[in-house]
Structure 1
């Protein structure tokens, strides 16, 4: 299986989730993963596990871990960020996570695959569907 790689650097003010979607669209990615993102955020907006509300905060945050499954219509991204005291928060990346000085993004694309999402009555969520071209 071959892998195509998209690597870019985001600058201050970019919305991390929206920019990842833009990269998926721009590069015609039908199946991808967010392999790496090193950088910092000035605003965070995370949906926490099992929570009805989101964690929204402004400050200085380092991205310490990130991963995600990318489809043409949806990005399922989990992120862990650390504040200035080293406290780590994690959850689903939502729109509204704003890059502070930089974010170095690497996306892997799998041209032989097609990722989509379909409702799974067992989980109550849309879950990943993997098809081969």
Structure 2
């Protein structure tokens, strides 16, 4: 596994930056290993698969995980507010870094992630293959 680490700064959009990294680094298969930071606005799709929630206040990122490739990303986020109440779901554009986000991505050199439409779910779902040795 190869490691890619970066510090995102105030004003950056988490999803946009992760997608930019995936394209710039030509990541064929990757996973988020660690993410520590905070956002001033968070947006996520909830479990109904349609509704988007937006919270415009400072939140701590307590979890960010998912799969990454230049063919697409699938990431979930959890954040907590000043009272420690947690919110989360499927990461969409609009999660704006407040002060910092320390992001570590593991690049799986033996795999290739792709996305293709799954008629059963209605979403572009992960397809994976292992490189031949």
TM-score range, shorter chain: over 0.9
1:5 matched to 2:3? The reply is: yes
Residue of 12, 32, 35 corresponding to 2:33: 35
Give the conservation status (yes or no) of the 8 Å contact 2:26–2:69: no
Question: How many matched pairs?
Answer: 131
**Cα separation, 1, equivalents of 2:91 and 2:120:** 24
The aligned residue for residue 121 of structure 1 is 119
Give the conservation status (yes or no) of the 8 Å contact 2:116–2:127: yes
Structure-2-length-normalised TM-score: 0.93
Structure-1-length-normalised TM-score: 0.93
Alignment of 1:82-121 (within 5 A): 82-121=80-119
Alpha carbons of structure 1 residues 34 and 13: separation in structure 2 relative to 1, 3 Å: same
**Cα separation, 2, equivalents of 1:80 and 1:36:** 13
Residue of 71, 80, 101 corresponding to 2:69: 71
Tell me how far 1:121 sits from its aligned partner.
2.5
**Cα separation, 2, equivalents of 1:95 and 1:73:** 17
Give the conservation status (yes or no) of the 8 Å contact 2:34–2:103: yes
Superposed CA offset, 1:8-64 (max 9, x none): 111100100011111111211101111111000001111011153211121110001
Gaps of 5+ in 1: none
Residue of 49, 52, 55 corresponding to 1:54: 52
